[in-house]
Amino acid sequence: MTQTGTLLLLFFLLCLAGIVISAITPERKNPLSLSVIASIASAILVWLSGGILLRGHAYSLPLWTLAPFGHLSLEINRLSAFFLCVTGIVFLPVSIFSAGYLPRYQERYSLKTFSIFYYLLLASISLTFMAGDIFTFFIGWEAMSILSYFLVNFEHDKEQSTRAGLTMLLMSEAGALAALVAFLIIASVSTGMSFEALRAGAGALGREACWAVFLLSFFGFGVKAGLVPVSTWLHRAHPAAPGNVSAILSGVILNMGIYGILKVNLDILPAAGTGKGLIVMIVGTLSALAGILYATPENDMKKMLAHSSVENMGITTAGLGAGLVFASTGHAVLAGLALIASLYHMANHSMYKSLLFLGAGTVDATLGHRDMDRMGGLIRLMPWTAFAFLIGALSIAALPPFNGFVSEWLTFQSLLQCSVLSSRAVKIVFALCGAGLALTAALAVTCFVKAFAMNFLGKARSKAAETVKKVRRSMTVPMLILAIVCFLMGILPTYIIPVIDHTVQPYVHTSTLNQLVPPFFTAGKGNEVLPKAFVSDFHKLGAQIGSQALPGRGLVIMHRGGKKNPVIFAMSPSYTVVVLFLLLGGCFILIRLLTRRRAVARRPAWDGGVRVLLPEMTYTATGFSNPVRVIFNGIFKPTTVLNSREAIHRHFQSAIKREQVETHLVDRIFGRPVIRGGRALANWLGRMHTGRVNAYAAYVLGALLVVLLVQMLLF
């Protein structure tokens, strides 16, 4: 047995052992056993997938033969290995976090049940990514959907959890059914149900069938990815789920939707023509805008992060759409650049969003609520949580030197390359999508400045925020691990881009590496990819600094052009962070030198003549985001559901009460018409229930005649 096979067997055996141990271990010891076993299993998953990513050798394992479905198998190529690696990296700190987080549910809910579902979820997600045929894929997919429902509905005595879990399950099943139909359309012209057979037979599909496969797979898997207009389950499920489950929902399960879209439209049946790519890009941009518009004014921490997940999946999808457009127009290098940016952003989102959800879970477990209007000043009592949350906020706001900056910058750069396209209409779509993503990026900064400042800075605005209990180390350490990962992915992109380039290379049929990460470290040492004059100019600028101590191609990201424009764009987060630390260190030393002879006097702050500044008088999260709410009021369109006036006299009123409820844009545009149509159809069908046996017999006879007529016409 190969090393990959041994690790694969060990992974599933650990999941099985975890299930057995969870069933026989006392409730109070379940969080610790879950933390240890699931962390080891996650580390093995990272080791297994990392080996395939670095070596490039795909792994295939035949399983069984089932007469209706053919040969079942497991297949791990670089694309699935990339998603498995991200899954393992997220599950590792989340599993450690569970040791300190889960005891809050003890004696109220079954921790044994939670642990069993947790192991099964990890195994089912991994099985889905490893599947080599339709049957195995949907076995893993359905298991993942059902187990996600159980974990979201863990606090089953709360109506909010039950309704959120059911909404998520129903939408997931509807999307899975659409995706299954897409697979079956391809299977109808293939010799089997394995992905290899689907790839071989997909070319026989006609134009109409290809469009049907694209639309069914994109919107079917788009449900799981949280794309507009099928994203309404997301902001309901996250607040209802436990904090560690929310981290997995955003950090792993949303990625499965992206994986499904890529599997069908890049691996099995590459999308031909610009139309499909433009649809993907437009939907991604609209998802990003809708997500951040609802995240910015939201005061519930987990709801805000849920809407933000829609935003980030939208950015990922927009990059994917740009890649499909460039690939269909013959610009392979630009297609590779856009796909690298898309997958890089997806991986980045998994890291910082998991970190932020763990932070929100820590705050919720400590304070007992998630309302940002009633927080403030937590940095004094939860310094390590605040520090980790700050790193996550800077990362998701795409500020250097953290990971969100690199992937968003690459996404914008890929959209700006639309000038090479010949169609003016396509260029206009690219420009509009770029403008939409720019607005999204600006609002994201506003959103997460509010998230950190209103939670951790200023004065405590509630009794709970003044008396925070000490946070367990098992909850802060995982957040710090993810914070370090965010920092490293931000300053070392030239080591991550080659891995993603090798992942997308089979689908764009070229390598983008030499055009995106020039080998400045190895130029002149047997590597003559770059012109000597070009290398000399950049060596003078310091592009070779670090070559004696660091391996790899270099620390510069650069898109090379032609003779007239040799450098289209260039940047180096690695050198940037060094300069940033030097500037900050220099400023610190200068201030210390200028103030060393001055005694620091501490006096009460002047508050505009007010003797005591009460917490109620300070800036709240609602006040901070109110300008965004006012500017985009035409999109939010809140409705007044209560307007009661109690009059003391005809000319006097003692109180005016108004309560406003916002209906989500997607629910308002898509949900309500569907519900109204469903009710109208149900009412119309209800008229058929006359209570007369003769009428029911006539219905049966009519249905039989229709079936016979259809059979005669088709066969």
To the nearest 10°, the Cα dihedral for 131, 134, 136, 138? 110
pLDDT at 525: 65
- Position 63 pLDDT exceeds 90: no
CB atoms within 10 A of CB 617: 13
Residue 401: cis peptide before it, omega within 30 degrees of 0 = yes
Q: How far apart are CA 409 and CA 497, in angstroms?
A: 13
Opening angle at CA 52, ends 47 and 57, nearest 5? 150
More confident residue, 503 or 514: 503
* Residues β-bridged to residue 710: none
- pLDDT one-digit tens code per residue, 562-597: 777 778 888 889 899 989 999 999 998 988 888 776
Mapping DSSP onto H, E and C, the string for 157-215 reads CCHHHHHHHHHHHHHHHHHHHHHHHHHHHHHCCCCCCEHHHHHHHHHHCCHHHHHHHHH
Closest CA to 337 of 268, 403, 410: 410
Name every residue whose Cβ is closer than 8 Å to that of residue 298 and which is 6 or more positions away in sequence.
304, 307, 625
- pLDDT one-digit tens code per residue, 542-568: 888 888 888 888 888 988 777 777 788
> Can you spell out the DSSP letters for 638-650?
-EEEEEEEE-SBT
H helix intervals, 541-596:
573-595
* CA-atom Rg of the chain in angstroms: 28
- pLDDT one-digit tens code per residue, 153-191: 998 888 888 999 999 999 999 999 999 999 999 998 888
Tokens of 355: 């970190």
Mean pLDDT across the stretch 454-465? 83
- pLDDT one-digit tens code per residue, 336-373: 999 999 999 999 999 999 999 999 999 988 888 888 88
- Position 696 pLDDT exceeds 90: no
Confidence of residue 121 (pLDDT cuts 50, 70, 90): very high
Q: Identify how many contiguous H helices and E strands the chain contains and give both numbers.
A: 28, 6
Residue 229: cis peptide before it, omega within 30 degrees of 0 = yes
Mean pLDDT across the stretch 675-683? 82
Confidence of residue 81 (pLDDT cuts 50, 70, 90): very high
Closest CA to 205 of 224, 182, 221: 182
Confidence of residue 665 (pLDDT cuts 50, 70, 90): confident
Mean pLDDT across the stretch 103-113? 89
Strand 639-646 with 655-661, pairing: antiparallel
Mean pLDDT across the stretch 396-421? 91
Residue 560 amino acid letter: R
pLDDT at 368: 83
Instruction: Write out the H or E segment, with its range, that includes residue 61.
Output: strand 59-66
Closest CA to 498 of 18, 56, 83: 56
- Position 66 pLDDT exceeds 80: no
pLDDT at 645: 57
Confidence of residue 661 (pLDDT cuts 50, 70, 90): low
pLDDT at 643: 56
pLDDT at 277: 93
In this structure, are residues 263 and 320 in contact, taking their beta carbons and an 8 Å threshold? Answer: no
Length of the chain counted residue by residue: 715
Name every residue whose Cβ is closer than 8 Å to that of residue 205 and which is 6 or more positions away in sequence.
185, 186, 189, 213, 269
- Position 691 pLDDT exceeds 80: no
- Position 629 pLDDT exceeds 60: yes
Opening angle at CA 341, ends 421 and 186, nearest 5? 75
Supply the mean pLDDT for the chain.
Answer: 87
pLDDT at 529: 72
pLDDT at 657: 58
Q: How far apart are CA 254 and CA 366, in angstroms?
A: 27
- Among 116-125, 186-195, 477-486, 665-674, name the one with the lowest average pLDDT: 665-674
pLDDT above 90 as % of the chain: 50
> Can you spell out the DSSP letters for 319-388?
HHHHHHHHHHTT-HHHHHHHHHHHHHHHHHHHHHHHHHHHHHHHHHHHHS--BGGG---GGGT-HHHHHH
Q: 65 in helix, strand or coil?
A: strand
Name every residue whose Cβ is closer than 8 Å to that of residue 631 and which is 6 or more positions away in sequence.
none
Q: How far apart are CA 591 and CA 78, in angstroms?
A: 51
- Position 647 pLDDT exceeds 60: no
- pLDDT one-digit tens code per residue, 132-148: 999 999 999 999 999 99
Q: How far apart are CA 220 and CA 223, in angstroms?
A: 6
Backbone phi and psi for residue 417, each to the nearest 5 degrees, phi listed first: -80, 10
Mean pLDDT across the stretch 89-116? 92
- pLDDT one-digit tens code per residue, 381-392: 899 999 999 999
Tally of CA atoms within 13 A in the half-sphere of 191 that contains its CB: 4
More confident residue, 644 or 491: 491
